[in-house]
Structure 1
């Protein structure tokens, strides 16, 4: 069911939906129901870690169904009004329609409207012009009947005039449950194939489609009231009662699943990174090449030109895994509004950092596998291409990273006290301090850009003056947190060898980033000239220590052995197959979350 198959595009799409149904059946038969998965960030993100290496298309549609659709629906105040069985059993697959062709998710620009007909006690859902068509979601008939949560402006009549009450979500069936044909008044146009996952992306529009009174969802931020009074903010007689804040807050409540969606996107990259690293590093031990000036051959791994980049990528992958775990845990534990703000900011930072680093790691793995890395059956290149979708989905990386960076600059960056003077480069704590110093340097640079002497008029004003150093702050802060995760795992590891290797991974991860910005550290007095000059040798020393133990590290990532052995690249020379080594023990190396 889950091995790679050479199929035409349409059949690949159908297979992803078939796999979704297979997965859903196992969820229904197991301890965690689809509804429970939708509301449990650890389980939901772990599902993405597993699905990504297997089938990027499956990862995409399960994210839309379980997170955006089912997560939103089951979290609504009036969920009791809706029969969830068709969505839990996958008699209907759920999709989420917010983005419009001309203006994305801008709440001020969304044009799709749902006008309430008081006499009929129905909504009339309508797309006013081509630019307002819903863009991208998988709404075609491929995969079976579907239903959508559609973001539309609620229009009601008040004092003889049409009143815009802001954007709400409406539950809309798209296809006939028996024939599977698109329902009357709904137009679905297939978009051209993307270079990403094989998914039936579409443009969707509505021509005065009638919806029942119960179709509008009340966001979870509202106050539940008696059904006969205000079941979801609007009485049957068309009186609208605002029980959950202004238009922007209502819209943000409607999009509350975007933050878990960010965690899902980074989980996809965490899973595909670990898988690609395992394939590339094992292959480097199987594939032999010339031995320099000596006779005979050696594994590719023998050559520093091959192993250095993969060891650096492995350190990044381990850091990304532990950073992701931290972001998920922070989101799960957020109880107050302030804690949720912190968790949302962290998710924006980690999503952009992990997916950008994931692209770099996957590309390195693809190159190190040579021509073998180009074959879809080897599980790297398709996942690399599909990862581009995760970089854009649930908030474009550049945008969310910039916003989070600006929030850090404006007072949400915790400036750790750092003693003045140069640091030594020998202890883990010292190199970790240097990463903290880099984040502080970029925060200071961004803050300095806010001062009056830089008030030269230019497009974007304050935002443009501060944006570049603010984004760099977000990146260096993520570097610091990822390194902190590795360091904590090393400190807590119960096995001495695991502890030693994790300290080396932390050292390699940190030294690479210190080396890249050593000039800034030297300028601020955190490094001396001779320390800057020796950084490349220190990195080489760590590579020497780590290289002989890489199979122990890479196999500790718990990638499915069955999946790995299904790739042709892993079977090029069965006699030289790189067998799994003993797994490491300690926090962060338990494999998938839960």
Structure 2
């Protein structure tokens, strides 16, 4: 079974040795923030240099670019992957097309590609997230052709990108600002800006570093301000001319955000691989006392098998879906709106499965699932960031569903229109279109807000379930895994299948039970097929790793005496000897 999947694992480059190096060992949480943040930057640089991406890899979305975002090393430090994807997809991806035509930009681009500098991407503002087209940061053209970059109000401060004096390397950024020429707003443009030298900020640039995100290794996420920073004319990426369509100009300028929606979504695959491996191995190892008085592994319970086997099925199906989506995304003749739809749909489904699966896996590990060192809950919290970065999932679904419902374009057709998931997709479309037609008002009306917006995310998820199924069939994922994936999709909207497909609740349960029973004998092979073993640092996966972990913990002893009950003493009986520690 294992070889079926391992042939499809990314083979360029190998990060297995890096994952087992001292740099990637468990970090002492008692270390100061600066030390821990430096480890994150060192890891980001090491992974980046292992891949040695070229600017062409990034711009033309070559296989190595996608492989980076599915590498099994990603869950070991989500903060490092945050730095990496900003560095390459957003910063380098925006700069490179201009550098190809402008020789003076090429040295900076090469520094970014080498990770000799830390490169950031400043788009969102404190007051402008989902409505970032209305950002307020200005870059005013001066008489000599240079620019004055300024944050005009607290709402206009740039939000979230790591910009503090950390990492011991120069910090640069692609900053999105409103180009002002003779008092005229000429739309948003990217500007190349130096932020600091790694020890202090540049003149006119300041950053207020935010507290560490829950569950994440520390990165200097910050609120960034520009106080009349003077930029040379060469800092502008693009034209001074006013575009004919300001909205389209904005979408063109931030085109790498759409790429990021797809690339970041693929990080969920690595998180699922690692987490299900940990939960599966722990469930095989962990025992309870059975009715016969003998040890019984907890994996024997169906309630333990369900989340683990479902996650395995989703992992391999989503892996096929991610590859299929990437192939569709890079087609040069694809309608850009459909390209956006492919990324949004993939993200909706990846995030839906990942958030649900990681919660269930952590829960089935009991108290062990609460600790970051066992990897699952840390991945769960990191993936919540993925759900927001490069486009909030709900916002993406609302935009896509609204445009599909009013007929602006269509998503790729089902490979099998008669499949259950294709029928479900068509049924939800018909239901939503009926509601829209009955409104008699535009898609920005209050009625549309009340009655249609709540339908958008389930609709896009239905498209994604069908596309994932089609991709898995095309990739020849083993049928038992596909069957269990379908069973999960049926459970997700059981009422529709009961009402429209005449599949009752017990029938859905029987479909699931049959698929689970078929996969259970292959559990060990499936866990190994994830490829996660060399990247697993969780102590709970084996007796040896657990013993080594316990031996490394701070150990306290003593001879203190406290008599809790008057007239009695508590001590150590001579016959007991020493406890085996």
- Contact map agreement 1:13 1:57 (CA 8 A) in 2: no
Say if 2:66 is the partner of 1:68: no
The one-character-per-residue Cα deviations of 1:413-467 (angstroms, maximum 9, x if unpaired) are: 569799xxxxxxxxxx89x711111111110110011123676999634344322
Q: What runs of 5+ residues in structure 1 fail to find an aligned partner? A: 219-232, 235-240, 419-428, 494-501, 577-594
Q: Deviations over 1:119-144 (max 9, x none)?
A: x3210111111111011110001112
CA distance 1:146–1:355, change in 2 (3 Å): same
**Superposition pairs of residues 56-205 of structure 1, within 5 angstroms:** 56-76=78-98, 78-82=101-105, 83=107, 84-104=109-129, 106-118=131-143, 120-143=144-167, 144-157=169-182, 162-176=183-197, 180-197=199-216, 198-205=218-225
Q: How does 1:310-325 map to 2 (within 5 A)?
A: 310-325=308-323
Measured after TM superposition, the shift of residue 64 of structure 1 is 0.6
Q: 1:17 aligns with which of 32, 41, 54?
A: 41
Alpha-carbon RMSD:
2.7
Partners of 1:149 and 1:171 within 8 A in 2 = yes
Query: Which of 25, 39, 50 matches 1:26?
Result: 50
Distance 1:574 1:96, change over 3 A: closer
Is the contact made by 1:171 and 1:217 (CA closer than 8 Å) also made in structure 2?
yes
Separation of aligned partners in 1, 2:520 and 2:300: 9
**Residues 456 and 67 from structure 1, CA distance in 2 versus in 1: closer, same or farther, beyond 3 angstroms?**
closer
- The yes-or-no answer on 1:537 pairing with 2:523 is no
What secondary structure sits across from 1:4 in the alignment?
coil
Q: Kindly report which structure 2 residues correspond to 1:408-487, keeping only aligned pairs within 5 A, or say none.
A: 408-411=404-407, 412-413=409-410, 433-452=419-438, 460-487=446-473
1:489 Cα deviation (Å)?
A: 3.1
Distance apart, 1:488 and its partner CA: 2.7
Secondary structure of 1:257's aligned partner: helix
Question: Is the deviation greater in 182-191 or in 567-576?
Answer: 567-576
**Corresponding position of 2:534:** 562
Q: Distance in 2 between matches of 1:17 and 1:417?
A: 43
Structure 2 unaligned residues grouped into runs of 5+: 1-22, 548-581
The answer to whether 1:54 aligns with 2:54 is no
Q: Say if 1:38 and 1:44, in contact at 8 Å, map to a contact too.
A: no
* Alpha-carbon contact 1:262-1:351 (below 8 Å) kept: yes
Q: Aligned pair count?
A: 516
The Cα shift of 1:10 comes to 2.9
CA deviation vs aligned residue, 1:284-336 (integer Å, no higher than 9, x gap): 11112222x2231122111112112221222222222222111111112x212
Distance in 1 of aligned mates of 2:184 and 2:443: 38
The within-5 A match list for 1:117-516 is 117-118=142-143, 120-143=144-167, 144-157=169-182, 162-176=183-197, 180-197=199-216, 198-218=218-238, 233-234=239-240, 241-242=241-242, 245-291=244-290, 293-332=291-330, 334-336=331-333, 338=335, 340-411=336-407, 412-413=409-410, 433-452=419-438, 460-490=446-476, 502-516=478-492
TM-score (norm 1): 0.81
Alpha-carbon shift at residue 202 of structure 1 (Å): 0.6
Deviation at 1:281, TM superposition (A): 0.9
Kindly indicate whether the alpha-carbon contact (under 8 Å) linking 1:273 and 1:358 is maintained by their aligned counterparts in 2.
yes
**2-side partners of 1:59 and 1:457: how far apart?**
38
Equivalent residue number for residue 222 of structure 1: none
1:73 match: secondary structure: helix
| 1:256 to partner: Cα distance | 0.6
The CA distance in 2 between the partners of 1:435 and 1:103, in whole Å, is: 37
Deviates more, 1:547-556 or 1:35-44: 35-44
Contact 2:215 2:377 in 1 (8 A): no
The answer as to whether partners of 1:95 and 1:138 remain within 8 angstroms in 2 is yes
Q: What is the SS of the residue equivalent to 2:163?
A: coil
Distance 1:414 1:395, change over 3 A: closer
CA contact under 8 A between 1:103 and 1:109: conserved in structure 2? Answer: yes
SS at the partner of 1:360? helix
Provide the rounded CA distance (Å) in 1 between the counterparts of 2:443 and 2:373.
Answer: 54
